[in-house]
Amino acid sequence: MFSKDCERRAEPRGVRLRSCRTERWGLIRAPVSVLAVICLALLALAPAAQVQAAPIEVTSHSNVTTAYFDNVRLEEIESMPEHTSAPQPAPPANPSPGRNAGVELLQEATPTEGQVGFRPRDGAVVTTNPPSFVWLPVPGATTYILEYSPDPSFPEGQTTRVTGIDLPLYTPAATLSSQTAWYWRYRAVLSGSGTLSPYSPVRSFQIAPDAAAFPLPSLDELHRRIPQSHPRLFVRPETLEELRRLASDPRAARIYEELLTDAEFELQLRKDAPLPPEPGDPMASGTFDAQVWRDGMLMARSTTETMQNLAFLYLISGRRDIGELAKRWLLHFASWDPHGTSSAAKNDEVSMALLYRMSRAYTWLYDLLTPEERTKVREVMRERGQEAYRILRSLPFEVNPHNSHGGRTLGFLGEAAIAFFDEIPEAREWFDYVVRVFYALYPAWGGDDGGWAEGASYWKYYMQFVSEFVDALAVATGTDLMAKPFFRNTGYFKLYVHSPGTGNPFGDGNGEPVAALDTEVMGWLARANQNPYFQWYVENSPGSPLPRSIFGFLRAARSPAPQAKPPVDLPQARLFRDVGWVAMHSNLASPEDDIRLVFKSSPYGSYSHSHADQNAFVLDAFGRPLVISSGYYPWYMSPHHANWTQQSISQNTILVDGRGQIPRSLAAKGEITRFFTTAAYDYTVGDASAAYTSPLLQFNRHILFVRPHFFVIFDELSASRRVRYDFLLHSPLVVNTLDEAAQKVSIFNWPARLDVCFLASQLLDLAADDRFVPAPELPNLPNQWHLRARSPQTEDFQFLTVLLPQRIDGQPTSAITEVLEVQRWTDPDVAGAKVRYKTGDGEIWTQYVAFRPAGAGSSDSPNGPKSPAALFAFGSDASGRKGQLLTVDGLILRLPGDTASTSGTDHPIWLSRPATISARWSAEDGDGGGTLLELDVVEQAKSPDALQIRLALSVQPALVVVNGKALSEKSWRYTGGVLELVVDAGARADENR
């Protein structure tokens, strides 16, 4: 139930609360006299506080502080070791012994789960120029000194030395050369004596040739760019008249008129009506009241948005009646106690809404406010800003950024810092902190590939929030955060994993369809990046990219949408290595004909809004969900959410003796160990072994997409004792056919059908039901069905499962329309399948797929972890004029009953050394009607010699293409039904090509 990343502190008396970092955390200190009260509150609050990520405030005694937490437990002080908030020294980290030999080194702490650690990592190739340097705090440090140089000895004249750094991170103000290796180290200036610590170990990095230029201008320079007068957010004094003129521009006029209509309604509604009181206290009864918390959140969001819109309309229109109503709202909110029920200590959803929207209203209404009114607003906003800043620094966020609400608060505080810069004394400190952390660490939930570990549902909310800060910072300072690779690529994450017509595959909000907010965010990304594929997504999704809001107006007026382009020329599969997600599509550009499988094995574990779903997958076909992540999200950590939706039992993964993966833990990691996509096959392997506790030793899941038709899943499992393994499958539809004798299950969701065929070497016990334990707290939710395929009791086991999506409505399609035969390959050395089927264009295909398990790995145990299996696949249509072939790691097998000969062998392919080769040929696609052969060399063993390939083909090719390049006829020859060609040493296809 608890994260292992916990903070423990000693107190002179009483008890200590161990607070675990989920979304927010903090420290409660209390004397023994109030222990009973705290215990009762925690016992009553435990599910609810975790549900809503709500903080608690205890103020009975002067030595009690405020706590921000989701998961807690109490322990007696005597049972706990002393521990300070600073990292404790660990044995010296020495990533490069040769560079550090004979030198006294700083004893660096070992990063715990959730901590950023050290960046750039030793030997890294960075994709931003310059990189941000990040390290762990040194106990007792007041400031730091950073050095970076192209010479590992750091000579004078070739070394940049930066002093006076107050945070354990730094981003240079100028780009670095990408033509050389770089080295970096740091040391601490210690408090009290001002002495210097030893240097850290030296770490090296290189800058990718295509790295994005992303220097951080000096803070002094950014300070000078912020307007000294108002407005400051989203519009500057010198651009105000231009923005006013755009109110009549056809691109923005419709939204502007709609906002004015809303304002007229508010003027009538609020003419004499009282404004709402402060929100209720969710803890007024002594236990957490989720409804009071939710009511406060919804009230704050809607009313602050009304205030914000009215203030903006006053700014653009100059209408005093609108401005006076906006001012009435602003001063009303300023009258609320910033330490009361609208504080983060009571309801941070309320406090966050007030923080950034009051900042906007203040700067837009500035000339309408009297000096006394400005002072009143500044005083309350100083308290709200300081509360948000204290929360971030208490984590501290710059060390532990995996804090969902903290990542949102960062941008809100940044807007407040701009609005009140040099008007609130602390605003400059807020600004400097936010900008530096954004450059170095944002986002904590993804990386350069653009993934978002919390899932596609939370992606849209957090992208909406951050889009506003990105725009605000750009207008105020000219700083373009969109230059970060994450912002350039994150639209691809949405495009692939939550494509039009599908549901969110993983994480809280699983199953949610593409909604208007997704379209709005993708519209922002399309305009900001001028990306035609993102615009295609927008035009194939519900809602408008320009919402009826001030941001719809601003974006319509300032940024034209690019011309949409269907993603027909993009790879049909993509790996988001930063978050460990793989998406495979049969036809990404045609949602109604597409088959989508999304697979996850993530380094972010089951933390925050993620679930215990390593090595899980979902499957849609022809716009219909067939295999889903099950469960609902009534509220965060409700009994159903905590004990079903977040657990492995709700996912399409594996249970071991009925037990799943560790929930709510960053340590419960998975890893994508292999991925490639070619014209004929997509292939990936995930390792989820670390996500389980004993006795599981190994869980490698292989997924092969025989494109564009069906999937084969091969699971390699090993345990330290005899166990039963459960292969889980969940569907929104009743399991129409469950044939235990045939080891087959069928699911129908018109116009789609899915046949699931189990081909394990031993019979599996199949069962299905539609029960949730516990049931969702919300009424009238649709049933879902849960299939379990259970192995016999054993130490090692292999599941071989074939998933055959079919289109059954008679529409023209290249997909499967009828399955003719599925049977296990009888070779005793492999786990394989033979599949025959008919497609909608009348072709009949026969496909063979086989995995050969590898031998024992490095474990001392005879049943310890094994390296992943090798793979071979071959298929052709009935005429033999179309076909495809794959060998992974050079595995070559003779097909059952095969009489083809390749240079005297009975195999369809021969290689001069191990390699991974994918090939596809078609008699209809070559020049002049001849056969086209497309061959991808995905990997090959290192060798100075060229790779020789011989491939059995029944028809002479007219054109041979290798890794996307056509070969001259002199580079290959075809004799006796055998194609021979030579590939240069080291040639390989890009994994995402």
In the predicted model, what is the mean pLDDT of residues 611-636?
97
Q: Hey, which of 95-104, 750-759, 904-913 has the most confident mean pLDDT? A: 750-759
Residue type, 8: R
Supply the angle between the helices 427-441 and 404-419 in degrees, to the nearest 10: 130
pLDDT tens per residue, range 313-355: 999 999 999 999 999 999 999 999 999 999 999 999 999 999 9
Asked if residue 789 lies in contact with residue 764, where contact means CB atoms within 8 angstroms, the answer is yes
- Residue 55: strand pairing partners: none
DSSP H stretches of helix in 367-451: 371-394, 404-419, 427-441
Residue type, 5: D
Check whether 84 has a pLDDT greater than 90. Answer: no
**How far is it, in rounded angstroms, from Cα 850 to Cα 436?**
51
**How far is it, in rounded angstroms, from Cα 713 to Cα 758?**
10
DSSP H stretches of helix in 717-824: none
> In Å, what is the CA distance from 583 to each residue of 705, 709, 803?
11, 15, 16
Asked if residue 523 lies in contact with residue 546, where contact means CB atoms within 8 angstroms, the answer is yes
**How far is it, in rounded angstroms, from Cα 547 to Cα 532?**
20
Residue 46 is encoded by which pair of tokens? 């435990």
Per mean pLDDT, which range of 95-104, 727-736, 776-785, 963-972 is the poorest? Answer: 95-104
Give residues with Cβ within 8 angstroms of 765, minimum separation 6. 740, 788, 789, 790
Among residues 764, 827, 765, 836, the alpha carbon closest in space to that of 798 is found at 764
Rounded to a whole number of angstroms, the CA Rg of the chain reads 30
Residue type, 910: W
Check whether 203 has a pLDDT greater than 70. Answer: yes
**How far is it, in rounded angstroms, from Cα 711 to Cα 754?**
11
Q: Return the DSSP state at 645.
A: I
Check whether 864 has a pLDDT greater than 90. Answer: no
Give residues with Cβ within 8 angstroms of 759, minimum separation 6. 743, 800, 801, 802, 822, 823, 824, 831, 833
pLDDT tens per residue, range 146-174: 999 999 999 999 999 999 999 999 999 99
**How far is it, in rounded angstroms, from Cα 549 to Cα 565?**
27
Question: For position 32, what pLDDT does the model report?
Answer: 34
**How far is it, in rounded angstroms, from Cα 909 to Cα 919?**
10
Strand 160-165 and strand 169-170: the pairing is: unpaired
Question: For position 898, what pLDDT does the model report?
Answer: 58
Question: For position 45, what pLDDT does the model report?
Answer: 34
In the predicted model, what is the mean pLDDT of residues 608-623?
97
Residue linked to tokens 């807007």: 415
Using CA atoms of 214, 219, 222, 224 in order, give the dihedral in degrees to the nearest 10.
-150
In the predicted model, what is the mean pLDDT of residues 648-674?
97
pLDDT tens per residue, range 404-450: 999 999 999 999 999 999 999 999 999 999 999 999 999 999 999 99
Strand 203-213 and strand 182-190: the pairing is: antiparallel
**How far is it, in rounded angstroms, from Cα 955 to Cα 856?**
41
User: Which secondary-structure segment (H or E) carries 736?
Assistant: strand 735-739
Which 3-state string (H, E, C) describes 539-553?
HCCCCCCCCCCHHHH
User: Which secondary-structure segment (H or E) carries 700?
Assistant: strand 696-706
Check whether 943 has a pLDDT greater than 90. Answer: no
Residue linked to tokens 């959410």: 641
Among residues 207, 134, 208, the alpha carbon closest in space to that of 401 is found at 134
Going by pLDDT thresholds of 50, 70 and 90, the confidence category of residue 81 is very low
- The residue among 120 and 4 whose pLDDT is bigger is 120
pLDDT tens per residue, range 802-823: 999 999 999 999 999 999 999 9
The strands making up 124-129's β-sheet, listed across from edge to edge, are 124-129, 203-213, 182-190, 141-149, 160-165
% of residues, the chain, pLDDT over 90:
77
Question: For position 991, what pLDDT does the model report?
Answer: 58
Among residues 520, 519, 526, the alpha carbon closest in space to that of 560 is found at 526
**How far is it, in rounded angstroms, from Cα 361 to Cα 231?**
10
Residue type, 692: Y
% of residues, the chain, pLDDT over 70:
86
Residue type, 6: C
Per mean pLDDT, which range of 424-428, 482-486, 553-557 is the poorest? Answer: 553-557
In the predicted model, what is the mean pLDDT of residues 925-936?
76
CB atoms within 10 A of CB 235: 23
Question: Mean pLDDT across the chain, nearest whole number?
Answer: 87
> Is the alpha carbon torsion for 165, 171, 175, 176 positive or negative?
positive
